[in-house]
Amino acid sequence: MTETLLGAGERRAEALSQFNRSRLARWMIWALASAAMMVLLLAPAIWNGFPLIFPDTGGYFTAPMVRALANGRSAFYGFFLDLGIPLAFWPSVIAQSALMIWLFVVTLRVNGLGARPWFALGVVTMLTVTTSLPWFAGQLMPDILFPAAALALYLLAYAHDRLLPGERWALAGVIAFAIASHMAAAAMCVAVIAALFVVSRIASLASYLALPPLRLKFCAGAIAAGIVLCPVSNLVLVGSFAFTPGGTTFLFGRLVHDGIIARYLDDVCPDATIRLCAEKNRLPKTAEGFLWDDSLIYELGGWKAHEPEQKRIIKDTLLRYPLVHIETAVKATLSQFVTFATEVEVNKNAPTFNSIGEHLPWLLPRLFAARQQSERFDVAPLNALHVPVAFLALAGMILALALRRRLNIAPQAAALCFVVLLALGANAMICGIFSHPVDRYQSRLVLLAPFVAAILVAQSRRSPVKA
């Protein structure tokens, strides 16, 4: 009897030892795969020799330093960048890359593809080569937070019960962080959950899509927290309880771009109460020219000083030309939806150079030694691959959703398609209408389309995942 008990104990001990060894082996494999994914997402920044910058980068990280809100630049995201300054901003891009890897892995897991570290590595490798993902992950800009917020919304809305409690709170934090970092992210998130709510109330559409149970309360709470965090963080960081300024001028720039402002000035000028009348012959033809390249707006006092007149003109044009506004808004949305070439700015980064020179002069040698400044490389050739891959992935997502039952698309994957398409549509509408179509605005989000396509392909080769 004693020998039998000893034998049973030894077998249990051996089984436990084998289990621990197996678990350790799995952890080691995941650690290796995760490290490889990190290297891939950081590859452009590592090759560059410095985190990638943009003309707006300086406006972000200096906002908390000078305690002043910059047009279109979040002080909250600027504070996030400031935390990485002692190590030349590298912690910032490492954190951004780690965030995206975590979101990809969790999304794969809830779609039945979680216990496959090498598959996750393969997906990230594919995204690194075929999309703008690593160029945004390694850039000192909040653009990477748009796809992060979209995935977080999907996970909380349609995979709530497949998440650990800690994961739910972390995803809510991602949404709030993204919203506080960029006002367009706030608008995108609100538009997505509003659309999800409306669709869930249309019985015929909800029945056709047959998506998993929808959970919006946690999403709504996260979005509300992010919206509140915007003015609260500005109060703490710069002493101003306000949202990030500049939205009116961005919209005005789009109306300049579409010719509405020129038409209005032709109709109402001369008018002594409109300062722009005296300068109507100098009005730029493009939004970029009005916002950044021309001195006209600064001669009128700058963004803030000219804003009251801009609001008056916008309101008047809406009353005078409502159909023109609708037409140009639709065109801007459609144009933005399909405008998503990968781009990295190499010629207009002087504002960031000046900010670093003034506040962080010790970083200048590293900054100018980077390839972005020293070689002024061109990423346009990448679009020979990036653009068609994005179009094919978008077509695949739309087809999968339209033929969801015939193709036997799993409910969880169908929900992912739906949320990503909603996010892309919302982003195109918000950026196209309230700014103007720019490749960067949609490129930062369309990188999710090949990710979704990879999940659909992987699931088509195995048993469908049950909701």
- Whether the per-residue pLDDT at 463 is higher than 70: the answer is no
pLDDT band at 3 (very low <50, low <70, confident <90, very high): low
Asked if 158 and 211 touch (Cβ cutoff 8 Å), the reply is yes
Q: CA-to-CA distance for 234 and 428, rounded, in angstroms?
A: 27
CA 92, chain centre distance (Å)? 15
Q: What is the pLDDT of residues 290-305, one digit of tens each?
A: 887 667 888 888 888 8
Query: What are the distances in angstroms from CA 232 to CA 17, 64, 78, 244?
Result: 52, 13, 14, 11
Phi, psi of 52, deg, nearest 5: -65, 140
- Give 467's contacts (C-beta < 8 A, 6+ positions apart): 211, 212, 213, 410, 411, 412
Q: CA-to-CA distance for 75 and 97, rounded, in angstroms?
A: 21
The average pLDDT across 381-389 equals 98
Greater model confidence, 460 or 61: 61
Strand, coil or helix: 188: helix
Strand, coil or helix: 70: strand
Asked if 409 and 418 touch (Cβ cutoff 8 Å), the reply is no
DSSP 8-state class, residue 142: G
No. of helices (H) and no. of strands (E), the chain: 24, 0
pLDDT band at 280 (very low <50, low <70, confident <90, very high): confident
Work out the widest C-alpha separation in the chain, in whole angstroms. 108
The average pLDDT across 336-360 equals 95
Q: CA-to-CA distance for 217 and 157, rounded, in angstroms?
A: 8
pLDDT band at 405 (very low <50, low <70, confident <90, very high): confident
The average pLDDT across 106-115 equals 93
Q: What is the pLDDT of residues 413-453, one digit of tens each?
A: 999 999 999 999 999 999 999 999 999 999 999 999 999 99
Strand, coil or helix: 303: helix
- Whether the per-residue pLDDT at 53 is higher than 90: the answer is yes
- Give 157's contacts (C-beta < 8 A, 6+ positions apart): 193, 196, 214, 215, 216, 219, 415, 419
Q: Could you tell me where the DSSP H helices lie in 287-382?
A: 287-288, 296-299, 303-320, 322-337, 350-359, 364-369, 371-374
Q: What does the domain layout of the chain look like in residue ranges?
A: 37-239+340-460, 247-320
Side chain identity at 370, as an amino acid letter?
A
- Whether the per-residue pLDDT at 259 is higher than 60: the answer is yes
Side chain identity at 314, as an amino acid letter?
I
- Does the model's pTM come out above 0.75? yes
- Whether the per-residue pLDDT at 465 is higher than 50: the answer is no
* Predicted local confidence at residue 72, as pLDDT: 85
Q: CA-to-CA distance for 76 and 70, rounded, in angstroms?
A: 11
Q: CA-to-CA distance for 79 and 87, rounded, in angstroms?
A: 15
